[in-house]
Amino acid sequence: MSPEGIAALDGPFSTRQLLRLDEALRVADQQTGLTFSVYIGDLAEPTRESAERLHRELKGAARAVLVAISPNQRILEIVTGSDARRRISDRDAKLAALSMAAAFAGGDLAGGVLAGLDQLASHAGRH
């Protein structure tokens, strides 16, 4: 098994959850023409700037949407590139964040991420 596979197994998700998240990301990308990414881990302070820095590192950042989650810090940041922002308003991102936060509060990290990706992709619409 690769080192990445071992790290994934030690993470917060089961193999089944990882497969569902991978599928949700693929579907969101295909339906919208945008690139969706999820980061789970600690964010440096200030957390918003840290999430924006991660977003800038993504290939095609203008068309990218990053959902950055730090469970230990209880932080959720959604960063949209300039092209993605035309299709996902701040209000849409806040609604998705509220939905995710509700699931997280109930202990469902994977379900929250899946729901958030679905909402963000729905707001972005088809390309």
CB 93 within 8 A of CB 79: no
Average pLDDT, the chain: 91
Q: What are phi and psi of 31, to 5 degrees?
A: -70, -35
Reference 122, options 95, 101, 103, 104; nearest CA is 95
Whole-number pLDDT of residue 93: 97
Whole-number pLDDT of residue 45: 95
Reference 67, options 83, 75, 78, 80; nearest CA is 78
Whole-number pLDDT of residue 25: 97
Which structural domains are found in the chain, ordered by start? 3-121 (3.10.310.50)
Query: What DSSP character marks residue 62?
Result: G
Residues of the chain with pLDDT under 50: 1-8
